[in-house]
Amino acid sequence: MSDTKDRNQSSPPTIRAMPSPSSQSPSKQSTQLKTPTTTTRTTNPQSRTAQLTFQITKTQSEITSVQARLDEACTLVEQQRASRVATRSIEAAGGSGGGDRGSVDKSTSNDNTISDGTINHDTTIKDAKLVVEQHIKLLTKYNETKDVAMSLLGMIAEREGRRLVDVMERRRVEDCE
């Protein structure tokens, strides 16, 4: 007992600090945190390939269905466009003849109708020519109006003793070339 008494009196008791988790070696931490996995390389690529094959097949079928819907929509748009052109040509034929719009004969309206989703080639040519003629008439009227306006602006510029460009700018008229 004297030995233990001497030990206690001779040296103060030492307190040992617990090591902090950050002071542990990295190898111990990594082994404690990680759990072993049991996946093998032979099964994982096969299942991934199967998933990718399924996704590719699914995407291809979606593309096919979207293309079919797009083709159908384009066909409907073309039919509507052709119907509008035919209607305009009927109205133009009725309006230019000087008669009633309601007096268009049945043979003309039957020639311009859509049958089985197609339009008669001759009817299409006639409609295109009507559109071109109307466009030319409108351009001619536009050019005549522009010439009159420019001559009026020229006379105003002469009377005021200013340049034509200044008169156009003052009246907020853009260049009409």
Amino acid 172: pLDDT: 81
Give residue limits of the domains in the chain.
47-119, 121-177
pLDDT score at 139: 92
Q: Which two tokens stand for residue 17?
A: 């600090």
Per residue in 24-80, pLDDT (tens digit) is 555 544 455 555 555 555 556 678 888 888 888 888 888 888 888 887 877 877 888
C-alpha dihedral sign at 11, 12, 13, 19 = negative
- Mean of pLDDT values over 98-102: 45
What does the alpha-carbon distance between residue 94 and residue 89 come to, in Å, rounded to a whole number? 8
Query: Could you give the CA distance from residue 99 to residue 107 in angstroms, rounded to a whole number?
Result: 16
Cα gap 91→43, rounded to integer Å: 72
| Amino acid sitting at position 137 | K
